[in-house]
Structure 1
Amino acid sequence: MDSLSSAVRGVDAVVHCAAFFRGATPEQAHAVNDVGTQHLASAARAASVKRFIFTSTGLVYGSNGGRLASEDAPCAPTAAYPVSKLAAERFLLGVEDLDVRVLRLPFVYGDGDPHIPEVVPMMRGFPAAHRMSIGHHADVAQAVTRLLEAPSPAHRIYNVVDDEAPDLATLFASVGAQPPDGSNAEFARAFDALLDGRRIREDLGFKPKFPRLADALAAGA
């Protein structure tokens, strides 16, 4: 706690991106993503930080049959990572005297990021037609900046997502991988919710620099 207190002393805003994702046991995910966030928020509040932005995940919505999930949709995650992130969200939104805003991120990719090839083995059994909400690093950064600069955002939770959710065959092809084989469609259901990105566009003027995966590929980004 002492290190957190010194880190936020004299700071106007905190953008909390740290998390334990792949490879975390449920206990580790809870300790880092939930309890760790609580400690940081408490330190930020004590230091009179003006705004606290928490980068959460669209996986908090859980399985919904592939429909678009708005920020007001029910959340029912089952995997340890989104369960821990949702718990942290709920704690943060209940903290008094701290201006908390939540960005629910999609699958994030970008130039130099190995995220796409890293998930190919995990999603090898998903259906090739399975669609996934994505967001480029540059657009995640834009969303954070817009939320930092907005004097009084209308909402506390915003989905961040590009304009097009590619299917996995397209995503895999972007890194030269063969399409997934559909052998574990049941597991894929935990990742079938797509993000509705209208709120951040309407409230904060967000417009993706790379609306589609094809745009990023064409730009070498």
Structure 2
Amino acid sequence: MASFTEENYLKAIYHLSSQSDGKPVSTNELADATQTRAASVTDMLKKLAEKEFINYKKYQGVTLTEAGNKIALRIIRKHRLWEVFLVEKLGFKWDEIHDLAEELEHINSQKLTDKLDTFLGNPKFDPHGDPIPDAQGNMPTSGTIQLAKAKCGDSLTIMGVSEDSSPFLQHFDRLGLKLGLNVTLTDISEFDQSLELQIAPGKTLRISSEVAMNIQVSLKKSS
């Protein structure tokens, strides 16, 4: 059994490792992600290693063991299911749900999680477009890329966002963007790599490269 704090660390390790193609996560990366002093992170890593949730060697970074990976995926599954529930059933906005889901994800009831999944119709993705692991920990594939990596002329569909902070989501909304929106990348600035999108006939929108790096899109196939 992992504690509330241990679960948060395992989830943070999973996310950081996923962002770096499975490379070991450094203590400093974890300290930044958890907003904790490096010394405190080291103490927690020792505890997680003793419970065999992680593989840890000083100065060599940390990876999840099979047991740790299962716990991380279970927490992520609950978090994203609760986000779906909060938006679809309780009417919360997508920029209001992260902190609530952070609390709800630690409810330790597999029966509740399974019933929640069934009640919601077994969703594959949360309101931000993030994939939801199934009960066995299998993660559905989205086949998306960063908008910043798309090419000029590409026809795209906005599928998700990789940044779920309230300021970013509110900015996304103010731009008039939404998941499922079809856009065409019409220009990439050589000066600052900002992108121009055609979001409707005769209507274009220019966004910064930083925003584009946090938007996930799929490439529309030619008919």
Q: Indicate whether the TM-score tops 0.5.
A: no
Q: Which has the greater radius of gyration?
A: 2
Bigger RCO of structures 1 and 2 (CA < 8 A, at least 6 apart): 1
**Which range, TM-score by smaller chain?**
under 0.3
- TM (norm. structure 2) is 0.26
